[in-house]
Amino acid sequence: MPQTSLWQTSQSSTNYAEVCNALYERELNNLVNADLSNIKSMQNRLKSLPHYIKRTAYLMTQAQTPLMLDSQNAHWSANQSKNMSLKGQKEDQVWQWYQSFTIPLGLVVPVWINDRVLLDSIDRIDNINKRIRTNAFGWFEQNTIQKILFQADDTLASQRVQLLKPTKKIMMSACAGHRWKNQAPRHPILLSLRELLLSCDINWQNFKKTSPLR
């Protein structure tokens, strides 16, 4: 094996180990602070944790992406703009984009919520009633690309969410956890395991094509 290949293999192994360690530390901290009164639920989460962490770490270290991998923090990095531009993301423009092709189930899409863009995936399409359902945020209809989500107790702590059409800039911001407040950048947030897995399912080459398919 050439010396260059040996170095690349060693570096990849180091990055993989660092990502695993960072994810374990993060997820265990989340479990410690979670309100899990059900012991069985806690056991199930702990049992599945190694599988998801190893899978996420592998995919992150193998991903072909324009993002920079911060292996020590299990985090994607990218330059953050001074403000978040939603140009071309009006409700009619977004809906027109989603109607312009046959949407594949599992397509990774961006959702604007409060001060950042989150990654979600499409899990159901209702062509008859002209609506799209994402895994985490539920149904978006032709006239309700933007909606209000209330907490379970119907308090005033509501969240305004808006389905966006994916662009390279928006998807990079979502993967890097960029946030803004009053049009000023804030410190990025670390993505959940689920979002990290979704970030590895983005085909960045498609942003260079006319077809929006994966």
pLDDT (tens place) for every residue of the chain, 214 residues total: 444 443 355 667 899 999 999 999 999 998 888 776 777 877 888 899 999 999 999 999 999 999 999 999 999 999 999 888 788 898 889 999 998 888 899 999 999 988 899 999 999 999 888 889 999 999 998 776 666 554 444 444 567 789 999 999 999 999 999 999 887 899 999 999 999 999 999 999 888 654 455 4
Contacts 24+ apart (CB under 8 A), 43-51: 49/24
Dump the DSSP string for 158-189. -EEEEE----HHHHHHHHTT-EEETTEEEPPP
The pLDDT value recorded for residue 125 is 92
Which residues, 6 or more positions from 186, have their beta carbon under 8 angstroms from its beta carbon? 115, 179, 180
Give residue 14's identity as a one-letter amino acid code.
Answer: T
This prediction's pTM: 0.85
Domain map (residue ranges) of the chain: 3-62, 81-208
Q: What was the pLDDT predicted at 212?
A: 53
